[in-house]
Amino acid sequence: MSAIGVDRPGIVAAVSGALGEAGCNLEDSTMTILRGHFAILLVVSAPGATTPESLGSALREASETFDLVISVRPIDVPSGEGLGIVSSEEALTVSIHGADRPGIVHAVSGALAEAGGNVVDLSTQLVGEPDDPVYVLTLRAVVAPENADRVAVAVKQTAGSLGVHCTVREDDSDLL
């Protein structure tokens, strides 16, 4: 399920409340504010008789109250793959910052994919002064352990060719 609209206090409470009243459990979610606009993606489990249409109806009041565009659709999650990371994979965090320019996400994600990595989370933002912004990209990727060094080198080389600073580090599950 997804919902987007102009940010206002109470959206998360209204959406999660409607889902709870419909008997749903929030399994995976991400929410952010993008230049004053609210965006949320949710993976929910629902009672057996629930359809996308009935869940959409349950969310109608929240949609109308907050002028949200809500989309509900079923997804299939193969058994054992619900967490998005296979136990044989290694998780890396890539942090990039530098002068803003078109193509940074494309180049870095392309280099990562070519080297055998898969992006599982990505965030970008402009920080600093409006007349001299700094582009910040943080992404989390999973790779086969034998590809981790190759992925790190490819991403760092690509970042260097773009003139941006890059760090790649192995995620530390002890910090979680």
Is 136 within 8 Å of 106 (Cβ atoms)?
no
Q: Where are the domains of the chain?
A: 2-71, 90-175
Same fold, 2-71 and 90-175: yes
| Band (88; pLDDT cuts 50, 70, 90) | confident
pLDDT, averaged across the chain = 91
Helix, strand, or coil here: 81? coil
Is 112 within 8 Å of 61 (Cβ atoms)?
no
Predicted confidence at residue 78, as pLDDT, reads 64
Predicted confidence at residue 146, as pLDDT, reads 93
Predicted confidence (pLDDT) at residue 81 exceeds the cutoff of 90:
no
Question: Is residue 62 exposed (0-12), middle (13-18) or buried (19+ Cβ within 10 Å)?
Answer: buried
Task: Give the integer Cα–Cα distance in Å for 88 and 166.
Answer: 25
Predicted confidence at residue 76, as pLDDT, reads 84
| Band (87; pLDDT cuts 50, 70, 90) | low
Residue 147's closest CA among 126, 122, 118, 173?
118
Q: CB atoms < 10 A from the CB of 1, how many?
A: 22
**Full strand arrangement of the beta sheet holding 2-6:** 25-34, 37-45, 2-6, 69-71
Please identify which residue in the block is written with the tokens 């409470």.
Answer: 13
Residue ranges of E strands in 10-89 = 25-34, 37-45, 69-71
Predicted confidence at residue 21, as pLDDT, reads 96
pLDDT in tens, 107-116: 999 999 999 9
pTM of the model: 0.77
Predicted confidence (pLDDT) at residue 91 exceeds the cutoff of 90:
yes
Residue 22: alpha-carbon gap to chain centroid? 25
Degrees, nearest 5: CA angle 118-81-143: 25
Superfamily of the domain at 90-175: ACT domain (3.30.70.260)
Task: Give the integer Cα–Cα distance in Å for 152 and 167.
Answer: 9
The average pLDDT across 148-154 equals 94
pLDDT in tens, 6-56: 999 999 999 999 999 999 999 999 999 999 999 999 999 999 999 999 999
* CATH code linked to domain 2-71: 3.30.70.260
Predicted confidence (pLDDT) at residue 176 exceeds the cutoff of 60:
no
Predicted confidence at residue 83, as pLDDT, reads 53
